[in-house]
Amino acid sequence: MKSWPEVYTPSIDSKYHFPEISLFNSASRKIEVLPRKNRYRMYVCGITPYDSTHLGHAATYIAFDLINRYLRAMNAEVAYVQNITDIDDPLLERAQRDGVDWQELANSQIDLFRSDMTALHVIPPKYYIGAVEAIPLVTEKIQELQDAEAIYSINQDLYFRIHKDPEFGSRSHLSEDDCLKIFAERGGDPGRIGKEHPLDSLVWLAQRPNEPGWPSIHGQGRPGWHIECCAIALKYLEPDSSEDFLIDIQGGGSDLIFPHHEMSAAQARVSTGKKFARMYVHTGMIGLNGEKMSKSLGNLQFVSSLINTGVSPMIIRCALLMQRYSKDRMWNDELLENAQIFMDKLALHLSQTECAPTQELIQNIIEALSSNLDTESVFFLLNNWIKETEVGAVGGNPGELSRTLDALLGLAI
Ligand code: ZN
């Protein structure tokens, strides 16, 4: 699948020190240091193309873009892979509801997502892989799981035995009751007759009448969602057998912790014998005007709608960065206005030849980002710098600060 255009990122002077980045790991429930390496492997779950790109999506991809930018600024290579679930039940249900062809719906939404990511200045993944194009990888992964005796069938559908992974549950920390409830809410089928365990997850769905299917050694059908990500991540991130973990970061919104990330990690563990991700990093949910933002409430706010009303994508990006990525947070007009005021002031002072000192500020910004992407502190520091500049402080380098904000925050001013 075609990704979106590369984003130019300025380089940062080598006089600045980049500490190792710390991130909240949902699996250990602690903030942990990501050890310094030359090459990182990051997999971030992509969208199912039927409601793109709402602000929750934007917040997630911008957060992982900050991690990508930070690691690159440390002079590390970042192998970054993202999928797109271009076949799944929610896509077919939406196409049927709206009376449109599912492929046309998917293609139009994928195009919209690409243009939104470009507008938001998000660095593209090296590999952007669709579920349909990944079917050969998925069937291969299912075979590996069959070899590990982790697969059984109900009619022609294939299921993964979750308890083949002795660490099942260790990344999501939920009670069995909560697992069952959330599994049912998020596309699982705990009550299906014939299942060995209610949480066993579908890896291959045999073709149903009036639904698409693809030929495979497992019969005509389509892949399950969790195995799609497991197969794509392990192929395109090329794990290094000398490392303890297959990949460094598994990322996505916090609604993916269970079942999605638990299942993908379990399938990776059972098929390879190794631990999947060193860190499971999750972004908070974005609400709207005090309410949860969701498709069922019909209050999703879309990036393209905001842009079409004349809002600059950089203002949207700034507004989403003003609060820390891991928090559940609210979107409202006031936030957007504050971001606009802030960006106007920042642009004004960066365009002047004299400004308050910037060297210590830049180092402090780097340190705040290294501390679990503390963007709130970054804005606090920048607001102080604006105030100092307003009262006449001099000695800074506005060009260098501008390049740093572009490189690390993706704020092109
Ligand atoms: Zn995924």
Band of residue 298 on the pLDDT scale cut at 50, 70, 90: confident
> Confidence class of residue 384 from pLDDT cuts 50, 70 and 90?
very high
Q: What is the pLDDT of residue 290?
A: 86
Mean of pLDDT values over 359-365:
98
Q: Rounded CA gap, 146 and 289, in Å?
A: 48
Residue 310 scores a pLDDT above 90:
yes
Superfamily of domain 32-287: HUPs (3.40.50.620)
- DSSP readout, 164-178? GSTTTTTTT---HHH
What local confidence, expressed as pLDDT, does residue 295 receive? 78
Residue 293 has pLDDT above 90, yes or no: no
| CA–centroid distance, residue 248 to ligand 1 (Å) | 15
pLDDT per residue over 149-175, tens digit each? 999 999 999 999 999 999 999 999 999
What is the CA(277)–ligand 1 centre distance, in A?
13
Rounded to the nearest integer, the mean pLDDT of the chain is 97
Distance CA 271, CA 30 (A): 27
Sign of CA dihedral 184, 162, 192, 102: positive
d(CA 229, CA 339): 35
For helices 359-370 and 398-409, the axis angle rounded to 10 degrees is 10
pLDDT of residue 113: 97
CA separation for the pair 357, 346 (Å, rounded): 14
pLDDT of 289 over the 90 cut = no
Decide if pLDDT at 296 tops 90.
Answer: no
Q: What's the CA-to-centroid distance between 253 and ligand 1, angstroms? A: 10
Tell me the three state secondary structure of residue 117.
helix
Residue boundaries of the structural domains of the chain:
32-287
Rounded distance from Cα 85 to ligand 1 centre (Å): 8
- Distance between CA 338 and CA 342 in Å, rounded? 6
Centroid of ligand 1 to alpha carbon of 38 (angstroms): 25
Q: Can you tell me the distance from the alpha carbon of 191 to that of 162, in angstroms, rounded to the nearest whole number?
A: 15
Instruction: Tell me how far the alpha carbon of residue 45 lies from the centroid of ligand 1, in angstroms.
Output: 4
- Are 196 and 160 contacting, i.e. CB atoms less than 8 angstroms apart? no
Mind giving me the DSSP string for 297-332?
TT---BHHHHHHTT--HHHHHHHHHSS-TTS-EEE-
Using one digit for the tens of pLDDT, what is the confidence trace for 170-210? 999 999 999 999 999 999 999 999 999 999 999 999 999 99
Ion ligand 1 neighbours (CB, 5 A) are 45, 229
